[in-house]
């Protein structure tokens, strides 16, 4: 994570995981997901926490979940699922599922979508 932190100027990094599939998506939302390198379900990217990326996440909040990733989780993610040529990580579906209310409800209401803050680390560990 040192190189990611150095390139980011010491700011926090966000892990973004695509939860929902490819059908029935509006064109502009699909373009935003493609810019984030989230082409398929259960793909994960680690991005810097900047205003530009936060605006993109606000647009795709109904198809992704995101939160602040810590150093330990990032190291495990790179060791287990990282490949040098890829800019994203392919993950398994999470053990014990996403949440009780499923993938169509925001995280704040007991679902899986949107901002998880620090709890994204638990989800990533379950998906590795």
* Residue 114 near residue 106, CB atoms below 8 Å: yes
The tokens of 117 are what?
């803050």
**Residue 10: in which H helix or E strand, if any?**
none
Question: Which whole number is the average pLDDT over 43-49?
Answer: 94
Q: Look over the chain and give the mean of its residue pLDDT values, rounded to a whole number.
A: 88
* 2-127 CATH, one of 3.90.105.10, 3.30.1390.20, 1.10.10.10, 3.30.2230.10: 3.30.1390.20
Residue 2 pLDDT exceeds 60: no
pTM: 0.86
């Amino acid at each position: 994570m040192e190189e990611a932190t150095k390139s980011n100027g010491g700011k926090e990094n966000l892990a973004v995981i695509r939860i929902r599939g490819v059908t029935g998506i509006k064109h502009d939302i699909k373009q935003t997901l493609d810019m984030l390198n989230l082409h398929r379900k259960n793909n994960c990217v680690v991005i810097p926490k900047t205003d530009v990326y936060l605006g993109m996440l606000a647009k795709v909040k109904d198809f992704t979940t995101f939160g602040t990733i810590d150093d330990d989780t990032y190291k495990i993610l790179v060791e287990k699922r990282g490949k040098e040529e890829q800019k994203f990580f392919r993950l398994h579906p999470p053990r014990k599922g996403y949440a009780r209310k499923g993938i169509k409800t925001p995280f704040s209401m007991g679902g899986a979508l949107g901002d998880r803050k620090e709890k994204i680390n638990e989800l990533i560990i379950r998906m590795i």
